[in-house]
Amino acid sequence: MIRTIPEVPAELFRPAAFDAEAAERTGYARYSYWRSTFRTFLKSPVSIFLLALIVVLTTASFVYPLFAHVDLGAVNLDTETWNLSPNRDHVFGTDGLGRDIWALTWYGTRTSLLLGFVIAILDVGIGMIAGALWGYVRKLDRIMTELYNVLNNIPQTVFLVLLAYIMRPGFWTIVTALCSTGWIGIARFVRNKVITIRDAEYNVASRCLGTPLRRMITRNVLPYLVSILIMEAALTIPYSIGSEVFLGFIGLGLPIDTISLGNLVNQGKNNFMLYPYQLTWPTVIMAAITVSFYIVGNRFSDASDPRNHV
Amino acid sequence: MKPRAMIIAVLMALTAVASAWAAGVDRYDAVYASEGSSLRYFYTPTTTDQRVAANTQDGLVEQDRFGRFVPSLAQSWTVSPDGLTWTFKLRPGLMYVDSSGQKTRWEITADDFVEGLRYVSDPKNGIKNFSRDVRNLISGLNAYYLDLSDVDSGKKKDLTRDQALANFANVGISAPDKYTVVYRLSKPTPFFLSYLVMELFLPVEKEFLDTVGLDFGVSKEKLVFSGAYYISDWQRSKRIVLKANPHYWDAGKISVKTITLQYVPDPTTQVAMFQRGELSRADLGADQVKALAKSKWGQYIYSDPPSADRFSVTYWFVQNFTSANPEFKAFVNNLNFRKALYYGIDRVKLNELDDPYKPGQIIRNTVVPEFQIFDEKGVDYTDYPGVKEIKAAGNYYNKAKARDYFKKALAELTDGKGTIKGVSPTTVDYKPIAEVKVDGKLPLQMVYVSLPDAVETKRALLLKAMLEEAFGKENIEVTLGQCIDDVFGEVVEPRRFDLLHDNFRFGYADPAAQLSRLVTGGGVNDGQYSDPEFDKLVQEAMSKTVLSERYAIFAKAEALYLDRCYVLPWAMGGTAYQITKVVPFTYPRGGFGITRFKFKGMVVEKDPITAKRYEQLKAAFYKEMAAAK
Amino acid sequence: MGAYVLKRLGQSLITVAIVVLTVFLLLRLMPKNGYFTREDYVNMDKDARTAYLRNLGVLDDPFTQFGRFLSGLARGDLGRSITVYPRSPVLDVIGEKAPYSLWFGLAALVLSMVLGLGLGILMARYKDRFADGAGTVYVTIVRAIPSLIWLFFIQQWVTALLGWPMVFYEDRPVSWILPTVSLALSGIAWYAIWLRRFMVDEENRDYVKFAVSKGLPWKRVMRGHVLRNALVPLVQYFPQQILLTIAGSLLIESIYSIPGMGGLLVSAIRQQDNPLVQALVLLYSVLGVVGVFLGDLLMVLVDPRIKLAESSGKGAAA
């Protein structure tokens, strides 16, 4: 199919004069990567809402225990108060020992978030350093690739279970087990990015123009990496929380007297037929957190893509 | 109801109008949560293994529905006057069947019992349950086993393995003819029959064993069956189907022809499956009982503790008399403090976690379980003077008494101003279970250790709250510690506890099964206390062969032991809440061995048994039992 | 080509060897206590316990044990399980359980490919419209909320609603549906989200814009260019996904009581069943590296621009 271009009237065109100042101006756009990223990110009300939700839930879970003065070890010796349905005194009801599920949920949220943050920071921190080295130091490539293949081929349950037995179940065991395999995935991701960025035309051009290394790193490389890392960190949090639930399911999670969302969900699950609210509330909070982090992470990754900056 | 079951039910109703099983169903569907490990019936680490072994293999004797020892493959037996030689006469002409229910060419003969014992006593076969007790029971068996073990480890070099194996001839078991098995014991053992219900004394056909070799019991084809059922299907983590053996010697007693056990690890699923009619019985946990009680299923819920698998297990709190925690060590070696603990533990409240309905019914104050040991007149050991009063006392919890004793202990152990005499500040290192700082002042620091499952964790929290409430937080502070799953390796052996929740299986029908292990240096003396008076009484009781004399002294020993609070027994194992279509009291019961797991005689009905009906049957049953004695 | 394949195989062999050796040595760090229960300690004296462990073969030093494992392997003998299913040949155990995981896994994989790719195409086609939104909600729920939770709710509610059995019965096909669907749910989300992303990426490419402005029908551009090119990075993962279905899913198999491979590795490690653990780790790592290798070959087949020597280690989706 051939389209014909209609005649364009000549009077629409006029010659442009050369203006040295204006030429300079187009050469220097008032483009800031970070401002654009945030502007794109904050354009969507959903992102704002979820980000606010994360901030509120995180703050609440860390602040609540400071003000609540609930002694979680305090077991109610009066069996009448065990397994109560939600009521005025206990808005989420009570568990099998008469403890208030509302309070438990906040404490649990704090533990789980803490776990997620620690894992995310460690994973991303180690992954970034290792990945950068992997990308820049060519000698390391063979070894790191082999390490990647090995870690990738050991089923993760092997790590989780073995470490739980060798180190005994606990907060740092879960952190170690998840990080021991988690970092390498991020490292490879970073490495691939570093390689592409390092050899990208604009960097070659920059080098040729004599841009100092510091500026190249801060302006040309880092922005790409930081956005990826923030996204990875955000996505690691729901993953860590999910892993803790899974570990609790196979009996190797945090000790049962530690209050975490994973433990609350697993205990609630056992009694679901009988006391559904014991599962419902912790689940709702957990879902709110994991979904928010997941969406925020993804939105941020979209926003941080310069192609989406218009 | 499924079509097949319906047809069967209709056929049954037509053909058996006059029969006693008219209302019965000939299939039984249940679940199992502990995965079966293998079909090698001499090695039964899980209850599933035990259940399968019990129903597919018969031994010389078995326990009936009253828990009595009755003839099984042996028709009759005699004991020599010195009590050392036991002679069993077998039923003639019984054949093993294979996994399709066909007769094999092998007959069940006396030799098979000799082979069975030979198999379990070879260390190479790794039969863990082949314990010191059993080795010392039969004359020559211990020496034979030790020789073999030393040959294997290289300790004994002047003997070859074949020579050591040939020495089995010196072991006290023989088959003088095809249908006679003779055991020669190393000491008179009036309760010998209670050993014979264990899997270790089952028969095995030598010719068959030789053909399958190492593959013995790895699949249903690598087995032949002497019991009431044969295994028609066995799939790992899935399903076990047992079918009635048509050639069984006691086939008339088998009303349930097909037994299907499904692997369902999740207890919640089990109850839902029962409600949808997929199962014949479901076990209920405490919280489930509470929730179902208000529903239409409430009328079917009842509990029958003596029929629980773990009824004969006694739960107790072990106190560490050699604790590395100087504060607790000072206190626990003081009788008044132990008594304070004894009276300070509210057994009813702790039991609410297991049994919210009748938390009192699963209290056990004695070490030796009831309903297990009877003297020549049929008197229960736990009804002997001394023990009887303790058994009847119910919940020993008494806050006033506990506080009194605690005050006395404080007066003896502290200077009255909160400083514990002779204790210097230190850090108690029970890592990785716990770590506590002690300062030699009140509150007394103590570490309570338990397993990490949900109920144990709840119990720990509850116990802590209870003790701190009874004696005051200014006087006592309980730190909770958990081990992963190995109480011995993680806690007892490295001595990482002050108070430990533990339990033990009961092995055979004699008080010695527990009491002889609790003496100074005994196998389960985990507290490491020492009481010469108790040791002497146990020693004395063990030397008596007349049951009533023996039990009288044992009862004295146990009463003394409990009065001095060396361990704190408080509950029996298993609450046995269930909803079931199985008529209670129709199947065997007992507290040890495996024959108690038989389905023999079990009657299954179409509808669940109501709690009301259970009460009626229970009254009738105990009347019948009293008459049978 | 031949040399490349040989080199890759050599590398893979090294990887597998390191994996197996690592797990082998890690296993030896576990406490020996785990072989005995509370009651065993009372029944057996120290000598009896030592004899028991000796007969299991776990007392020898790790390298003797590893040598024994290798020599057995050379003869095609993976040994016998020692604690989980004492004395059962490991191959028998795997042979009995693997088919369940394989059938469920393959059925679920086909389902997730069909539905996932379909959903991905719909989402890309109607980008920023209802289909895309609904798809995103689904993907988010499945990927963000811990699977245990929604798997549990599916089992509880769907079986009650439809009156289906709660667990898997071999002779009742209706009980096969839920486990398969549950198994496929996350696969569907995976395919949908990545296909959507790759398609959207492709749509923004200059060649697509050119083809459209040149006047090629939209449908043809989508089918002939966008979809084909978007599938390339996904194709790489097919072989590994197919091969590793044998590993089963611990959660789903335990929820529906399917006698598959899912829980086997965990219980083998817990009970320190070394021969079983080693065999499983060997199996999974061999399948893993073979899968990656086949994936690379497949990439070359579907996309002639890719050369073998470069293809390793550069996947987009993870």
Mean pLDDT of C2-7: 84
What residues have CB less than 8 Å from B7, skipping those under 6 apart?
none
Q: What is the pLDDT of residue B16?
A: 41
In terms of average pLDDT, the best of A74-83, B17-26, C10-19 is: C10-19
pLDDT bracket for residue B8 (50, 70, 90) = low
What's the confidence (pLDDT) of residue A112? 93
DSSP state at residue A296: H
The predicted pLDDT at position B17 comes to 39
pLDDT of A201: 85
**Cβ C34–A165 below 8 Å, yes or no?**
yes
Which of C18, C156, C281 is closest, CB to CB, to A155?
C281
- pLDDT band, very low/low/confident/very high, at A21 (cuts 50, 70, 90): confident
pLDDT at A1 over 60: no
Average pLDDT on C15-20 reads 90
Neighbours of chain A (3+ CB pairs under 8 A): B, C
What CATH number has the domain spanning B37-224? Answer: 3.90.76.10
* Domain range summary for chain C, segments of one domain joined by +: 97-263
Q: What percent of chain C has pLDDT over 90?
A: 40
Which of A162-171, A179-188, B146-155, C224-233 has the lowest average pLDDT?
A162-171
Q: Which of residues 463-492 of B touch A (CB under 8 A)?
A: 464-466, 469, 480, 482, 484
Number of B to C CB contacts under 8 A, please give it: 128
Check CB contact under 8 Å for A97 and B462: yes
Average pLDDT over residues B187-211: 95
The pLDDT tens digits of the residues spanning B313-355 come to: 999 999 999 999 999 999 999 999 999 999 999 999 999 888 8
**A114-136 mean pLDDT:** 90
Q: Tell me: the pLDDT tens digits for B229-263? A: 999 999 988 899 999 999 999 999 999 999 999 99
Cα angle value B400/B405/B409 (rounded, 5°): 145
Beta bridge partners of B229: B244
Residue B70: predicted pLDDT: 95
Cβ-defined contact of B432 to A168 (cutoff 8 Å): yes
For B498-536, the pLDDT digits (tens) are: 999 998 888 899 999 999 999 999 889 999 999 999 999
**Residue B482: which pLDDT band, with cuts at 50, 70 and 90?**
confident
For residue range C242-299, what is the model confidence (pLDDT) as tens digits? 999 999 999 999 889 899 998 899 889 888 898 999 999 999 999 999 998 899 888 8
The answer, yes or no, to whether the previous bond of A15 is cis (omega within 30 of 0) is no
Neighbours of A14 (CB within 10 A): 6
Nearest CB to B38; choose among C41, C85, C263: C85
Contacts of B238 in chain C (CB under 8 A): 170, 257-259
Please state the rounded mean pLDDT for residues B71-82. 96
**Higher-pLDDT residue of B527, B15:** B527
State residue A83's pLDDT score: 78
CA distance A291 to chain C (A): 5
CB within 8 Å of chain A, chain B residues 404-443: 432
- What Rg value do the Cα atoms of chain C yield, rounded? 24
pLDDT, position A87: 82
pLDDT of residue A29: 59
> Which of A154, A242, A283 has its CB closest to that of C23?
A154
Domain boundaries, chain B: 37-224, 251-308+575-628, 311-572
Query: How distant, in Å, are the alpha carbons of A147, A214, C237 from that of A187?
Result: 11, 22, 20
Q: Do C148 and A246 touch (CB under 8 A)?
A: yes
Name the residue facing A158 among C23, C146, C251 (closest C-beta): C23
The residue ranking higher by pLDDT, A251 or A147, is: A147
Statement: B251-308+575-628 belongs to CATH 3.40.190:
yes
Model confidence at C15: pLDDT above 60:
yes
| pLDDT at position C1 | 66
* pLDDT for B5: 54
pLDDT, averaged across chain B: 91
Question: What is d(CA C84, CA C268) in angstroms, rounded to the nearest whole number?
Answer: 6
Q: Which two tokens stand for residue B64?
A: 């009936």
Confidence bin at B610 (pLDDT 50/70/90): very high
* Phi, psi for residue B102 in degrees, rounded to 5: -85, 145
When mean pLDDT is compared over A279-293, B177-191, B439-453, the highest value belongs to B177-191
Pairing of strands B229-235, B95-97: unpaired
Residue B464, both tokens: 């802590």
Contact C42 B238 (CB under 8 A): no
- Give start and end residues of each alpha helix (H) in chain A: 20-27, 33-42, 45-68, 101-136, 140-153, 156-167, 171-199, 201-208, 213-215, 222-249, 261-270, 277-303
Region C19-27: what's the mean pLDDT? 88
Residue with more model confidence, B98 or C40: B98
d(CA B617, CA C9): 72
Which pLDDT does position B395 carry in this prediction?
93
What CATH number has the domain spanning B311-572? 3.10.105.10
Side-chain half-sphere of B225: how many Cα atoms within 13 Å?
30
B229-235 and B24-25 strand pairing? unpaired
Q: Beta-strand (E) ranges in B368-523?
A: 426-430, 434-438, 444-450, 476-482, 499-504
Could you give the percent of chain A with pLDDT greater than 90? 15
pLDDT in tens, A152-162: 888 888 888 88
Would you place residue A203 in the very low, low, confident or very high pLDDT band (cuts 50, 70, 90)? confident
Name all chains with 3 or more CB-CB pairs below 8 Å to chain C. Answer: A, B
Nearest to B238 among C39, C255, C259 (CB): C259
Q: How confident is the model at residue B484 (pLDDT cuts 50, 70, 90)?
A: confident
What mean pLDDT do residues B109-128 have?
95
pTM above 0.90, yes or no: no
Confidence band of A2 (pLDDT split at 50, 70, 90):
low
- Predicted pLDDT of residue C4: 83
Query: What is the reported pLDDT for C308?
Result: 64
pLDDT at residue B7 in the model? 53
pLDDT tens per residue, range B264-316: 887 778 888 898 888 999 988 877 887 788 889 999 999 998 888 889 999 99
Tell me if B318 sits within 8 A of B526, measured CB to CB: yes
Amino acid A30: pLDDT: 65
Q: What's the pLDDT score for residue B207?
A: 95
Mean pLDDT over the full length of chain C = 88
Q: Does C2 touch chain A (CB under 8 A)?
A: no
ipTM of this complex: 0.83
C-facing residues of A in 163-202 (CB < 8 A) are 165-166, 185, 188-189, 192
If you average pLDDT over residues B474-480, what whole number do you get?
Answer: 93
Q: Which of B561, B457, B445 is nearest to B501 (CA)?
A: B457
Please determine, for residue C58, whether its predicted confidence score (pLDDT) is greater than 90.
Answer: no
Q: Which has more pLDDT, A91 or C90?
A: C90
Res B528: pLDDT: 95
Is the bond preceding residue B443 a cis peptide, omega within 30 degrees? yes
Q: How many CA atoms lie within 13 A of B595 on its CB side?
A: 31
User: Chain A window 264-303: which residues touch C at a Cβ cutoff of 8 Å?
Assistant: 265, 269, 272-273, 283, 286-287, 290-291, 293-295
Q: How confident is the model at residue C114 (pLDDT cuts 50, 70, 90)?
A: very high
Q: By the CB < 8 Å criterion, does C19 face chain A?
A: yes
Residue B299 confidence (pLDDT): 94
CB contact (8 A) between residue C250 and residue A158: no
Whether the pLDDT of residue C10 is over 70: the answer is: yes
Domain B37-224 matches domain B311-572 at the CATH topology level: no
- Residue B73 contacts residue B248 (beta carbons within 8 Å): no
Between 1.10.287.3510, 1.10.730.10, 3.90.1150.10, 1.10.3720.10, what CATH number should domain C97-263 receive?
A: 1.10.3720.10
Residue A253 has what pLDDT? 82
Q: Which range has highest mean pLDDT (A197-206, B383-392, C148-157, C226-235)? A: B383-392
A99/chain B closest Cα distance in angstroms: 11
Instruction: Please tell me which of B425-429, B556-560, C62-66 the model is most confident about, judged by mean pLDDT.
Output: B556-560
